[in-house]
Each structure stands twice: as C-alpha cells, then as structure tokens.
Amino acid sequence: MKVLAPEEQYIKGRLYSIRVSRITQRAFFGHCLVTKPTIYAIILKERYVKIPNHSWPTTNSPQTLTDLSDNMTTSSSSQWPSLRIAASVFATLFVGFGINAIVRPENALEFFELKAPAAASDKKLVDSLMVIYGARDIFMGAAIYSAAYFGDRKTLGWILIAGSGVAFVDGAVCRAHGKGEWNHWGYAPMLTAVGSVLLGVLDKA
C-alpha cells in the first residue's frame, strides 16, 4: 500500500471534507478552466507546501498563491468596479453644472429656484458669484475624477461624502429662501451611500 506524503494526505483529506461530488471533480479536473494546481492553491491558501509533480507559482508569476485563491472568491463590496463608474457619473454632473453656471448664470440660478435680479449692477454681482459657484463645481468634479482613476477607494469615498455635504448646504440655502431644496437634497444621499460603500461599511470583517 502506497504511503502518502503529509501534504498529499492533507489535500486528500480536505477534498473529502468539502464533499466535492464526482461531477464537480470531473468538471474541475477534466477541463483547463480550473486546473489541479489551482484547486491545491485554494485548499492550501497560505500554507506554502511544495506540491509533488506540480510547478508552484513564483513571485514573478502573474498569479501568485494569494491571487489564485482570491480570484475564486467574491471581492469585497468596496472593490466593486461599478462604484468608480458611479463616482465618474457624479463627477461629470458636477463639471456640467459648473460649466453651465459660468456660461449661463441665469439658467444655473433656476436650479436654486431663484430669480435673477432686475438691476444691472445686482445682476453683474450675481453673475460673478455664479462664476465662483461654477469653478467650485468644476473643482469638485476634477477631484472626484482624480481620486477615481489615480487615488485609492478611501480617498474617493471621503471626497464623495464631502460632496454630499456641499449638496446639503446648497439645499439648506434654497430652503431658507422658500423652495428648491430637493433639487440638491435629492442626490446628496446617493453621494453619501456610494462614498460609504467605498469606505468599506458593507465589507465583511
């Protein structure tokens, strides 16, 4: 009777313990999509044991031992690619609002449900303030773009949450003047939600 090496006994025991069916084994070991060394890597995970008759991934390999096991599991919520796409959509909206405020200040005032002043001097002052408002929105959009494509997820998350605070203040100003607050409060929670997920509030410990 052949005596199995310790590492072979460990692998064999683990395969039995997880009750892999014959059909599943055939699907795993009979096709090139999931190879035997990959199954071994999943079972062993961080146990750096040499597997007989199989080449082990090196540090220079595109897929390390951790990669092989991680690729077979669902990534955490904060790593969802859709979150960066959503952040990019928000950034585009901010940049669009900013450009509109600079180019068409009266139209931007309508988003606040405020009327442009009648006096020429007052109108000129409001137009100048709308340029400042537009520059603010463009900066916010650029900051979100930068964090989404060159920063890390936590930086992006905090910028989105900060953006929701800006939207809340804009709505509060509108409410103080009578109406228009939900033009801003309507999307503020979405910024908070996406930012919170990026910070890992839904990640499993």
**Domain presence at residue 204:** no
Report how far residue 89's alpha carbon sits from residue 95's, in angstroms, rounded to the nearest whole number: 10
Based on the domain organization, do 60 and 155 belong to the same domain?
no
If asked whether residues 194 and 116 sit together in one domain, one would say yes
Domain count, the chain: 2
What are the residues whose beta carbons fall under 8 Å from the beta carbon of 5, sequence distance 6 or more? 52
Q: Provide the CA 53 distance to its chain's centre, in angstroms.
A: 41
Report, as an integer, the average pLDDT of 108-127: 88
* Inter-residue contact 136 to 98 (CB < 8 Å): yes
pLDDT for res 12: 56
**Do 43 and 85 lie in a common domain?**
no
Among candidate residues 70, 93, 114, the one where a domain is terminated: 70
How many Å apart are CA 44 and CA 49, to the nearest integer?
Answer: 8
pTM for the whole structure: 0.60
Do residues 92 and 165 share a domain? yes
- Do 87 and 183 belong to one domain? yes
Q: Is 193 part of a structural domain of the chain?
A: yes
Residues 105 and 39 in one domain: no
CA distance 26 to 29: 5
Same domain, 106 and 50: no
111 versus 94: which is more confidently predicted? Answer: 94
Asked if residue 65 is part of any domain, the answer here is: yes
Choosing from 70, 89, 109, the residue where a domain stops is 70
Quickly list DSSP for 82-140. HHHHHHHHHHHHHHHHHHHHHH-HHHHHHHTT-PPPSSHHHHHHHHHHHHHHHHHHHHH
pLDDT at 6: 58
Same domain, 141 and 184: yes
Same domain, 92 and 142: yes
Among 1-10, 48-57, 60-69, the range of highest mean pLDDT: 1-10
| Domain termination site, one of 18, 49, 70 | 70
Average pLDDT over residues 114-131: 89
| Residue 126 placed within a domain | yes
In this structure, are 47 and 86 located in the same domain?
Answer: no
Q: Which residues contact 99 (CB under 8 A, 6 or more apart)?
A: 134, 138
Same domain, 99 and 178: yes
- Domain that residue 58 falls in: 6-70
The tokens for 9 are: 């006994």
Name the most confidently modeled range: 59-68, 140-149, 177-186.
Answer: 140-149
Would 203 be classed as within a structural domain?
A: no
Query: Does a structural domain hold residue 169?
Result: yes
The answer to whether position 20 is within a domain reads: yes
Residues 54 and 82 in one domain: no
